[in-house]
Amino acid sequence: MNENKFSKKKSEKSKLSKYFLDMPYLELFGNREIRIEGCKGVLSYDEFLIRINTSGIIICLKGRGLSLKSLSPTCLVIEGYITAIEFDS
């Protein structure tokens, strides 16, 4: 009976893992820096608002003095004074 519980939990975990594979990963360091993995591009950019395209979600960062610290094909790091993070579909 314990094996059945274990395999059921393992199956549920596998389904969740597949769901989260398509989601962006955000790492926030206080309100001064954010790292976003899974980005597909920057839609708009100025020192007060940055909009990032990810898999099905647009992430909007609002703040002051926002700047792209680093950018790669799938990851970016933004620094500045972050006051809001919004998610649009």
Overall pTM surpassing 0.85 (yes/no): no
Predicted local confidence at residue 76, as pLDDT:
95
At 20-32, the pLDDT tens digits run: 667 899 999 999 9
At 31-72, the pLDDT tens digits run: 999 999 999 999 999 999 999 999 889 999 999 999 999 999
Predicted local confidence at residue 12, as pLDDT:
58
* Domain edges within the chain: 22-88
Tokens, residue 26: 């955000």
Domain 22-88: assigned CATH number? 2.60.40.2000
**For residues 83 and 62, what is the distance between their CA atoms, to the nearest angstrom?**
6
